[in-house]
Amino acid sequence: EVLIAANAEEAAKLAATAVLDGLAMRTSGNNVLGVATGSTPLGLYAELAKAVANGKADFTNTLAFALDEYVGLEGTHEQSYRQTLVHELCKIIGLREENLNTPDGFGDSEAQIRTQSAHYDAAITAAGVDVQILGIGANGHIGFNEPGSSLRSRTRIKRLSAKTRQDNARFFDGIDSVPTHSVTQGLGTILDARRLVLVATGAHKAEAIATALEGPLSSACPASVVQLHPDAVVVLDEAAAAGL
Q: Which stretch binds ligand GLP (CB under 6 A): 33-41, 94-102, 107-115, 234-242?
A: 33-41
Residue 108 annotated to the active site: no
Min dist. Cβ of residue 244 to ligand GLP (A): 18
Taking the least distance from each CB to ligand GLP, the nearer of 64 and 67 is: 67
Interstrand relation of 131-134 and 156-159 (parallel, antiparallel or unpaired): unpaired
Q: Does 143 bind ligand GLP (CB under 6 A)?
A: yes
Instruction: Check residue 198 for interaction with ligand GLP (CB under 6 A).
Output: no
Minimum CB separation of residue 38 from ligand GLP in Å reads: 3
Please identify which residue in 37, 80, 117, 139 interacts with ligand GLP, judged by CB under 6 A.
Answer: 37
Per DSSP, the three-state class of 44 is helix
Q: Which of 88, 121, 130, 139 is catalytic?
A: 139
d(CA 218, CA 5): 27
Q: Are 59 and 95 in contact (CB under 8 A)?
A: yes
Site map for ligand GLP, 164-193, x if CB under 6 A?
x-----------------------------
- Shortest reach from residue 37's CB to ligand GLP, in Å: 5
By CB under 6 A, tell whether 140 contacts ligand GLP.
no
Is position 141 annotated as part of the catalytic site? yes
Long-range Cβ pairs for the range 22-30 (8 Å, 24+) = 22/130, 22/131, 22/194, 22/195, 22/197, 22/231, 22/233, 23/57, 23/62, 23/130, 23/131, 25/130, 25/194, 25/195, 26/130, 30/61, 30/62, 30/63
Strands 156-159 and 181-184: antiparallel
Q: Is 229 a catalytic residue?
A: no
The count of residues interacting with ligand GLP (CB under 6 A) is: 13
DSSP letter for each residue of 222-241: GGGGGGG-TTEEEEEETTTT
| C-beta closer to ligand GLP: residue 44 or 93 | 44
Please identify every residue annotated as catalytic.
68, 139, 141, 146
